Amino acid sequence: MSERINVMRPWLGAEEVTAVTEVITSGWVAQGPRTADFERAFARAQGVGHGVATSSCTAALHLAMVVAGVRPGDDVVVPSFSFIATANAPTYVGARPVFADVDPTTGNLTAQSVEAALTPATTAVIAVDQGGVPVDLAPLRELCDRYSLVLVEDAACGAGSTYEGRPVGVGADLTTWSFHPRKLLTTGEGGMLTTSNPEWAERARRLREHAMDVSAADRHASVLPTRESYTEIGFNFRMTDLQAAIGLVQLGRLEEMVRRRRALAADYREVLDSLPDLRCVADPPYGTTNFQSFWVEVLPGFPMGREGLMSWLAADGISARRGIMAAHREPAYAGHSGQVVPLPVTERLTDHTLILPMYATMTAEELDRVVDSLVSAARSAMRPGGGGRP
Ligand SMILES: Cc1ncc(COP(=O)(O)O)c(C=O)c1O
């Protein structure tokens, strides 16, 4: 039996080990100078003024809601077609996530789908670069400016993707990033909030550290005792220097990660484009994806449904994943009042897409094994909705 092929593997190596070792031997392992370096380097790489490192993208989304001034009773338009953290962020501050549908090709919000979901209480929009595919931000920017809404970009999956020739996230008021191992650039767990608004960055930086007016790093670096005060109710959303040291190494590898993933996507497409009943994710006309998720939609003509195809791949030792979830269908949002428009595209994509293995260190042999399995499934004589090999 050949070795199992995972859907994703982080690309970590000796450089990360050295970086973490240096932090350990320095004696400063909590949030400190490495975190500050990582924030500066990441913000520079993304073409924005400020980076605030956090313990996760979920924490960064929560902070984004607070600094954007989203309050109890507000509505925030979000895609249901996203990891549930996107919808949870407004909920954390007492606001209501209102679900908008997505574009069938990109899986992202559009200005039209957001406008259809606006209510008199809407104060913000969270647009997602789903699976790394850049959201078409300019029309959303225009819409948000017209209605005076804060535009947050959930770029959890988007490091290395571009929009109109620049990194994603540049055109939003606040952008959030994830460094979970399912993403390209990983720090184990971790996230970042970026913004060009210095006041928001400053407030987020304080809030992630209990809203202390003197950071723990400054307090410990000072020989004289400092007296800090707590300016409002804050959080512990800190990143550690151990994580930041890994992040700095990973950031230096991001370009190569994207290059390799885009080459793998091209290799997949060389064969899969000849299977008319599988539709592969692709670059939109206005940008490039980092292929954080290489997803395919199983169209009605394919000999088996999505579940059947996942079983088929599993029998060949290949681990695929169901496509992006639909938050409005989860028990956490059962009976939720925030579904004000139908979500047919979300439901179709959630039910019929799957994510294929892709990671920077994937070999040509591994990719061939996945492709061969898909081709044999396409040539099988099973009926739609079938469940695995005959
Ligand atoms: C679109 C989106 N937003 C937010 C998150 C949450 O990220 P984290 O695990 O870093 O909190 C994820 C994670 O999968 C995501 O895909």
User: The domain that contains 27 carries what CATH number?
Assistant: 3.40.640.10
Percent of the chain residues topping a pLDDT of 90: 92
Find all residues with CB under 8 Å of 347, minimum gap 6, and list them. Answer: 326, 329
Which amino acid residue places its CA nearest to atom 16 of ligand 1?
Answer: 83
Of 228, 252, 276, which residue is a domain's last? 252
Per residue in 23-44, pLDDT (tens digit) is 999 999 999 999 999 999 999 9
Cα–Cα distance measured from residue 103 to residue 86, given in angstroms and rounded to the nearest whole number: 17
Q: Are residues 235 and 215 part of one domain?
A: yes
Longest dimension (CA), the chain: 77
Q: Which of 58, 62, 175, 208, when mutated, tests ligand 1's pocket best, judged by the most ligand atoms within 8 Å of its CB? A: 58
Average pLDDT over residues 151-179: 98
Cα–Cα distance measured from residue 49 to residue 169, given in angstroms and rounded to the nearest whole number: 12
In a domain, residue 2? The reply is: no
List the domain range (segments joined by +) for residue 140: 14-252
Closest-lying ligand 1 atom to the alpha carbon of residue 59: 11
Q: Are residues 231 and 305 part of one domain?
A: no
Do the bridges between strand 50-54 and strand 191-195 make them parallel or antiparallel, or are there none, so unpaired?
antiparallel
Q: Are residues 215 and 118 part of one domain?
A: yes
**7: its two tokens:** 């859907």
Average pLDDT over residues 262-288: 97
In a domain, residue 389? The reply is: no
Cα–Cα distance measured from residue 34 to residue 340, given in angstroms and rounded to the nearest whole number: 45
Which CATH number goes with the domain that contains 276? 3.90.1150.10
Q: Are residues 278 and 259 part of one domain?
A: yes
Of 252, 273, 301, which residue is a domain's last? 252
Do the bridges between strand 353-356 and strand 321-322 make them parallel or antiparallel, or are there none, so unpaired?
antiparallel
DSSP 115-143: HHH--TTEEEEEEE-GGGPPP-HHHHHHH
Torsion-angle region of residue 384: left (phi > 0), alpha (psi -120 to 50) or beta? Answer: beta
> What are the pocket residues of ligand 1 if the criterion is a CB atom closer than 6 Å to any ligand atom?
56-58, 82-83, 85-86, 128, 154, 156-157, 178, 180, 182, 191
Q: How confident is the model at residue 389 (pLDDT cuts 50, 70, 90)?
A: low
Active site members = 183
User: Chain centroid to CA 138: how far?
Assistant: 19
- How far, in Å, is the centroid of ligand 1 from the Cα of 131? 10
DSSP 176-242: EEE-STTSSS--SS-EEEEES-HHHHHHHHHHTBTTBSS-HHHHHH-SS-----B-S---B-PPPHH
Rounded to the nearest 10 degrees, what angle do helices 306-315 and 364-379 cross at?
130
Q: What pLDDT is attached to residue 196? A: 97
Rounded to the nearest 10 degrees, what angle do helices 57-67 and 198-207 cross at?
120
Average pLDDT over residues 99-111: 98
Q: Are residues 182 and 76 part of one domain?
A: yes
Q: Are residues 259 and 136 part of one domain?
A: no
Average pLDDT over residues 311-333: 97
In a domain, residue 390? The reply is: no
Average pLDDT over residues 72-92: 98
Nearest residue to 183 (alpha-carbon basis) of 90, 257, 237, 74:
257
Residue 243 β-bridge partners: none
Given a cut of 80, is residue 4 above it in pLDDT?
Answer: yes
Given a cut of 70, is residue 383 above it in pLDDT?
Answer: no
For the chain, the domain total comes to 2
Per residue in 55-70, pLDDT (tens digit) is 999 999 999 999 999 9
In a domain, residue 243? The reply is: yes
Q: Are residues 222 and 265 part of one domain?
A: no
Indicate if the alpha-carbon torsion angle 243, 247, 249, 250 is positive or negative. positive
Find all residues with CB under 8 Å of 330, minimum gap 6, and list them. Answer: 84
Q: What pLDDT is attached to residue 312? A: 97
Average pLDDT over residues 225-253: 95
Q: Are residues 141 and 69 part of one domain?
A: yes
Given a cut of 60, is residue 384 above it in pLDDT?
Answer: no
Torsion-angle region of residue 351: left (phi > 0), alpha (psi -120 to 50) or beta? Answer: alpha
Number of residues written out for the chain: 390
Find all residues with CB under 8 Å of 331, minimum gap 6, and list them. Answer: none
* Amino acid (one-letter) located at 266: A
**197: its two tokens:** 């608004």
Q: What pLDDT is attached to residue 2? A: 77
- How far, in Å, is the centroid of ligand 1 from the Cα of 178? 6
Cα–Cα distance measured from residue 206 to residue 174, given in angstroms and rounded to the nearest whole number: 16
In a domain, residue 387? The reply is: no
Q: What pLDDT is attached to residue 382? A: 56
Per residue in 171-184, pLDDT (tens digit) is 999 999 999 999 99
- How far, in Å, is the centroid of ligand 1 from the Cα of 218? 30
- In 3-state terms, the chain is what percent helix, strand and coil (to 5)? 40, 15, 45
Q: Are residues 180 and 160 part of one domain?
A: yes
Of 206, 232, 252, which residue is a domain's last? 252
Q: In this structure, are residues 386 and 310 in contact, taking their beta carbons and an 8 Å threshold? A: no
Q: Are residues 269 and 169 part of one domain?
A: no
In a domain, residue 4? The reply is: no
In a domain, residue 20? The reply is: yes
Q: Are residues 264 and 239 part of one domain?
A: no
Given a cut of 90, is residue 83 above it in pLDDT?
Answer: yes
Q: What pLDDT is attached to residue 87? A: 98
Q: Are residues 259 and 246 part of one domain?
A: no
Find all residues with CB under 8 Å of 105, minimum gap 6, and list them. Answer: 282, 284
In a domain, residue 142? The reply is: yes
Q: What is the overall mean pLDDT for the chain?
A: 95
- Type and span of the H or E element at 54: strand 50-54
